[in-house]
């Protein structure tokens, strides 16, 4: 039928079918984000925070399921971005606002908006930079990690209040919440390189010690999930600036620029010659 339409000068008819399995995971992640917003409105902040972490797990699975089953599609990519905007953009900002930032007045909702805008810009830049940047590093803090950083504070404080380790509430930590929310929003749109873990080959054999390490990691997380997860994401949220500063002091280029340029040169010999010519002209001007 498409061949007949092509002979008649008409565009081929697009298929309206979508792949069920990967989009089911994306829908589940979207549901978790919406559920977190509802629970935050009802004052159940611990449940809302846990829902965001569940959305992170589901979001990490949909792409892998699509690649394993060869069901990638442009629809799935766009749907995943919209789901991430709800689960890791709007939901964490609203949870933090309801939990702590409301008492700051306009400063509270401005901090929440900075986070939402940062998440939107981060996702838009990520979609436009696919295939251009080095896959080993994210350019800016990933939105799921930023969401974990924000709601992780909500979860850990709520949990520690229930176990009577601390007496502070969201209102008492309003300005700390303000700083963390703004930090997460700005870091998402920064150029700081954050390791993506995408170069880890799960099909490759590893020493037995790695299996023991995974077991210990699960034991560590299960011992106290709020404290351990928040600590891990807090360290990850600062790691990009540490790597950025380290490379800046060495006079190196950001990881994604360095590798992206090298890959482009390898793919196209003409581009490689142009890169060498530009570098030579730069050296002459400096001399």
How confident is the model at residue 16, as a pLDDT? 63
For 33-44, the pLDDT digits (tens) are 999 999 999 999
Cα torsion 238, 239, 241, 245: sign = positive
Confidence of residue 137 (pLDDT cuts 50, 70, 90): confident
* pTM exceeds 0.85 for this model: no
Res. 72: pLDDT tops 90: no
Q: Which residues on neighbouring strands pair with residue 64, listed in sequence order?
A: none
Note the helical H segments in the chain.
2-7, 20-41, 45-68, 74-85, 91-99, 106-128, 143-162, 174-188, 208-223, 225-250, 255-267, 269-286
Among 193-197, 202-206, 213-217, the range scoring the smallest mean pLDDT is: 202-206
For 104-125, the pLDDT digits (tens) are 999 999 999 999 999 999 999 8
How confident is the model at residue 66, as a pLDDT? 82
Q: Which residues on neighbouring strands pair with residue 138, listed in sequence order?
A: 194
How confident is the model at residue 99, as a pLDDT? 93
Confidence of residue 276 (pLDDT cuts 50, 70, 90): very low
Provide the percentage of residues in the chain whose pLDDT is more than 70: 75
Average pLDDT over all residues of the chain:
81
Helix 91-99 × helix 106-128 angle, to 10°:
160
SS3 138: strand
Q: Looking at residue 191, what DSSP letter applies?
A: -
For 231-265, the pLDDT digits (tens) are 999 999 999 999 888 888 877 655 555 544 444 33
How confident is the model at residue 264, as a pLDDT? 38
Among 60-64, 159-163, 174-178, 229-233, the range scoring the smallest mean pLDDT is: 159-163
The token pair at 234 is 């807090």
- Please tell me which residue, 254 or 98, carries the higher pLDDT value: 98
SS3 258: helix
Residues contacting residue 158 through CB under 8 Å, at least 6 positions apart: 45, 46, 49, 226
How confident is the model at residue 154, as a pLDDT? 93
Most confident of the following: 4-18, 56-70, 128-142, 175-189: 175-189
Task: Specify burial of residue 247 (Cβ count, 10 A radius: 0-12, 13-18, 19+).
Answer: middle
Res. 95: pLDDT tops 90: yes
Confidence of residue 286 (pLDDT cuts 50, 70, 90): very low
- The stretch 78-101 carries a mean pLDDT of 94
SS3 196: coil
How confident is the model at residue 135, as a pLDDT? 75
Res. 73: pLDDT tops 50: yes
């Amino acid at each position: 039928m498409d061949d007949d339409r092509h002979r008649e000068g008409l565009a081929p008819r697009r298929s309206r079918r979508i792949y069920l399995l990967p989009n089911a995971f994306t829908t589940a992640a979207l549901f978790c984000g919406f559920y977190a917003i509802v629970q935050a409105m009802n004052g159940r902040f611990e449940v809302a925070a846990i829902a965001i972490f569940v959305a992170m797990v589901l979001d990490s699975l949909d792409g892998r399921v699509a690649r394993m089953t060869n069901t990638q599609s442009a629809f799935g990519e766009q749907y995943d971005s919209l789901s991430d905007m709800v689960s890791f953009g709007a939901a964490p900002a609203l949870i933090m606002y309801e939990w702590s930032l409301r008492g700051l007045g306009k400063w509270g909702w401005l901090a929440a908006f900075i986070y939402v805008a940062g998440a939107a810009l981060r996702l838009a830049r990520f979609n436009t930079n696919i295939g251009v940047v080095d896959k080993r590093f994210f350019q800016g803090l990933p939105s799921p990690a930023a969401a974990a950083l924000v709601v992780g504070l909500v979860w850990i404080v709520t949990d520690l209040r229930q176990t009577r380790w601390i007496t502070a509430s969201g209102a008492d930590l309003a300005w700390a919440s303000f700083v963390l929310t703004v930090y997460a929003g700005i870091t998402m749109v920064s150029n700081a390189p954050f390791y993506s873990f995408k170069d880890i080959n799960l099909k490759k054999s590893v020493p037995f010690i790695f299996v023991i390490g995974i077991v210990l990691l699960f034991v560590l997380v299960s011992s106290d999930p709020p404290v351990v997860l928040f600590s891990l994401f807090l360290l990850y949220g600062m790691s990009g600036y540490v790597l950025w500063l380290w490379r800046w002091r060495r006079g190196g280029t950001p990881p994604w620029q360095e590798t992206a340029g090298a890959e482009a040169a390898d793919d196209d010999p003409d581009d490689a010659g142009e890169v060498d010519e530009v570098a030579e002209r730069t050296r002459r001007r400096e001399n």
